[in-house]
Amino acid sequence: MNMMESVWVDVGALEDIPRQGARLVKTSVGCVALFRTETDEVFALDDRCPHQGGPLSQGIVHGNAVTCPLHNWVISLETGLAQGADEGEVRTFPVRSEGGRILVEASRLGHNKDAA
């Protein structure tokens, strides 16, 4: 497959993710968690909590945030920043939902500088 600067890849239907839930997409830069909020917004973040690497996809989604299952840090889905007194940041990825399908921008997932 030949990738241009910005390539949107269809990874599945919006309905595949439960509302206020998450699913994983495996990539060569690690697992990316796709979150669906109560209002059907979709976000994509690294599935690694900045605290001790907890799998954010397993947390509870509330508003536009997720609470990590291991020690309850709250991470903003929009910015990837830890909320409240905790400090840390998770990488976020461009994603959009269109006509019930979810598209992620794949260029950063394929050949990402950080990943090397």
Q: Which residues bind another protein (CB under 8 A)?
A: 1-3, 9, 11-12, 16-21, 23-28, 31, 34, 37-39, 52-55, 58-63, 67, 69-70, 72, 74, 106, 109-111
CA dist 28 and 18 (Å) reads: 25
Judged by beta carbon distances under 5 to 8 A according to partner kind, the member of another protein, ligand FES, none in contact with residue 73 is: ligand FES
User: Which amino acid type is present at position 64?
Assistant: N
Q: For the CB of residue 79, give the shortest distance to ligand FES in the complex, in Å.
A: 16
Which phi-psi region, left, alpha or beta, contains residue 53 (left: φ > 0; alpha: ψ -120 to 50)? left
Q: CB–CB of 43/56 below 8 Å? A: no
Alpha helices in 1-116 (DSSP H): 107-110
Is residue 73 a contact residue for ligand FES (CB under 6 A)? yes
- The one-letter amino acid code at 22 reads A
Q: Which stretch binds ligand FES (CB under 6 A): 19-27, 49-57, 94-102, 108-116?
A: 49-57
The contact set with ligand FES (CB under 6 A) reads 49, 51-54, 68, 70-73
